[in-house]
Structure formats: structure tokens, C-alpha cells
Structure 1
């Protein structure tokens, strides 16, 4: 018989000192704090800073710092870009979350003053001047502008004949609809 004693392997797991573990945890926490404290506002936008949900200030484009971990939140609003709302059609590749595809057909069907039906397509272009007002003075600004524009256009189209709508009155309709929208807003 072979009387060899069994081989015993003595594996010791490396022990990390408590200071090293604490140091790594602190470094990770600092990286998270710095990561959540930095933000960038793009060139065509302004940032609206909220502290605990209350308006604090607006900031210009560039790299900025805020209080981390959700204390300060930043909403970026495109103030230097021309925005548009399309009515009665959609441009391929342009997605508008405020306009479901089936709604386009309904919003372009209008009744003229002489009780004829007309299919009217139009675009509203706008720019946001005051991001604070845009975010806090109206509950849903894009949908409000959409509803306001549709109401003004239906009123203006309803005051004209179908011939005016599809031929000579287009410029006058544009001016009248813009004036009516400004009255309502």
C-alpha cells in the first residue's frame, strides 16, 4: 500500500484593509456626486434650474454645475431655434409627439363660410422667448398653441368662401389667423 499523506492546500483569501475599502467607496461616491452635479446646455437652448421643483434661475449655453442627487433639476428649452407645428400633414422624418397621425385628416377638414368643405394645410412657426413663462405659465404649451392655432384657423376659414380659401385669399387668411391668434393669447 501506498501510504502517502494527502496534500493539503492552504488558500488564504487576500484581506483588504478597512481603510482601502472605505477609500474606494468614498472615491466612487465623489465620482457620482461630480457626475450628477455637471450639466451642459446646448448652443440653441437655455436651461431652467429648479431647486426642489421651484424655479431658481435660467442659465445660458455652456457647462454648468448644480447641486447633485436631484436637489437641483435642469430643464433645457430650445430658445434660439425656430420650432414648428404642422397641421393637416406630417413631414417625413419629422416627428411631432403632439400630433397623432390620424389627427391630421380631421384637423385639415374645414367648412367655409359658403358651407363648402376645404382641406387646409398650414404650419405655425414659433420661437420661445422666455423659458420660464413657457414652462410655468401654461400647463401644456405645445398643445395649447396647437389648439389655439386650429381654433383661429377654423374661425378665419369659416368667414370666407371656398374660392377665397383655395385661390386669392391665402395671404389675407394668413394675416387674419395670425392676428386672431395674437388676440387669443
Structure 2
């Protein structure tokens, strides 16, 4: 088989004539590509001119100097960002999936009573000052991560393992949020902490069964204590009320007897004084007053003689009016 050879001949005059146009076109395209910038609605643009801060651009279509004279950094100032510690979210679809196998160094920390706890948490934050975020701290997001881990270890290290794992979780999250915000203000990194959420707090895997058994025993103890306190609150106030009622009745009875005895003694003294002045008249008066009180309480009245041979009805004393003194 014969091989055919083709030769391409380029006119040198044509290259000289159109080369500058090609170069100019490429330069214009490159200039347009490097100077026209679009900033999203949740962002603002920070422009550096020859490495020095120049201005801040608002969302929309903007222009900067081309060919690397000015550089644009887009900062998501209207978006809530987050950092995860002790785990990572692999997918956040309808059902989120998490991975924590390679992040034990972040979550494993020592409590105040020298126990280990596995703490997973999330820091939600916003960038409120793009200039400070870019220029006050080198690699602000990495610095924030280190600050968050340091703050969590400090707060957890001041509490016992029971507080961290059970009743003190919300207090730990609030304390970390306050401390982390103070550190951000001190470093002037342009970040505002929205929330610190404890995702999960567990004892280390080797001791988890023992801890669960202790935790269950403590819950049962609390249940028994609450039940005993409820029974105490039900029985003791009633017993105190009954005791108080008995005391008041006894005091009232004693007061009544004392007043009554005092009145009878005064009455006896008055009778005695009257008796001393007129013995016969006083005896007769006492007799008549006594009969006046006693006779109406009797039934039919019959008076008989000593031998009982004659029955003589007296008067119908049931209808008789009492004598007036």
C-alpha cells in the first residue's frame, strides 16, 4: 500500500495580519471573565487590590479590575453556618446519615471527677463582619473550631460525669455558648454564635453497660424518694391538722371548765354573803328556786302521807306557771 503525504502550508503574511486580533480577542475574553463577578443574595464581596483591602460589594452584578489586579472573596454573611464535633453528616436528605468512627479524638474528654465522656456537639454561627472574618484572624473557621473544642473541654472539665450525661446538659451547652462568644469578641473574628447544641453525650463504649446500670439504679432511687415524699406530704399535714384540732379542742374545753368553775365560785360567794346577812330567807329562796327548776321536769306528781294509806292528788303542777321571785 502506498502512503500519501499531505502538507499544510501556512502563509506567514496571514499569521502576521491576524495574530494581533487573536491575541486581543483572548485578552478581552480573559479580562471580561476576571472582571465581571456575581454576588449571591446571602453574600457580600470583599475586594482586595494588590493584596490590600479596598472595598466591600453588595449582592448583585459587580465589576472589579481584571487580570488579578483585584481579587474578590465572597462571604456568606446572611447564612447560618455550623461546625460538627465528634461526628460528620454524610447526607442530610429525608433521613440524615452520620459518621463518627474517625472523630473520637474530638469528642472524648475528661470530666471534673476524672471520668471520660463522649460528647458530640454542634456550633451554629453567622459571619457578621466580613472584614474582621478575613483579616483579624488567620483561617477564622479553623480558629473557631479550636476555640469551640477548648471551650467545651473547659466547661465539661468543671462538672461531674453525672451532670454532663444527665441533668446538666443544657447548662453545659449554655455555658459553652457564652464562653465561645466571649472568645470571638476578644479575638475580633467577626463571628456571632447563634447556638451550641449537645448532639449526644455518652460514656465510653467499654463502660456503657455499667454506666447504664448505675443510671437505672439512680432513677429507681429518685422514684422511691419522690414516692416517699409524696406519702410524707399526704400523711404528715393531715396528722398535724388533727393534732392541732385536738389541742384546740382541749384548750377550749379547759377554758370552758375554768370559766365555769370561776363563775360557780363567784356565785357561791354571792350566796354565802347573802346567807350571812339573812340565813333563813336565803335558805327559803334557794329551796324555792331549786323546786322551780326541778318540778317542771317531772311527770305526774302525787303526794302521799307517811303511811301511804291515802292517795291525795296535789295540784296539776304540769300546767302550773313558775312562781315569780
TM-score by length of 2: 0.48
- Report what 1:81 is aligned to: 79
Q: Distance in 1 between matches of 2:15 and 2:178?
A: 74
Q: Report SS of the residue matched to 1:25.
A: helix
Quick one: distance in 1 between partners of 2:82 and 2:54?
28
User: Which residues of structure 2 form unaligned runs of 5+?
Assistant: 1-7, 93-100, 185-325
Greater per-residue helix proportion: 2
For the structure 1 residues 36 and 184, does the alpha-carbon distance in structure 2 shift closer, same or farther, using more than 3 Å as the test?
A: closer
Distance in 2 (CA, whole Å) between partners of 1:129 and 1:141 is 13
Distance 1:33 1:166, change over 3 A: same
CA RMSD of aligned residues (A): 2.0
SS of the residue aligned with 1:16?
helix
User: Is it true that 1:55 corresponds to 2:46 in the alignment?
Assistant: no
CA distance in 1, matches of 2:116, 2:126: 32
TM-score, with normalisation over the residues of structure 1? Answer: 0.82
SS of the equivalent of 1:121 reads strand
CA distance in 1 between counterparts of 2:176 and 2:19 reads: 68
Counterpart-to-counterpart distance in 2, 1:142 and 1:58: 20
* TM-superposition CA deviations, 1:5-31 (whole Å, max 9, x none): xxxxxx985653855443343233222
Partner of 2:148: 149
Change (3 A) 1:163 1:30: same
24-33 or 62-71, which moves further after superposition? Answer: 24-33
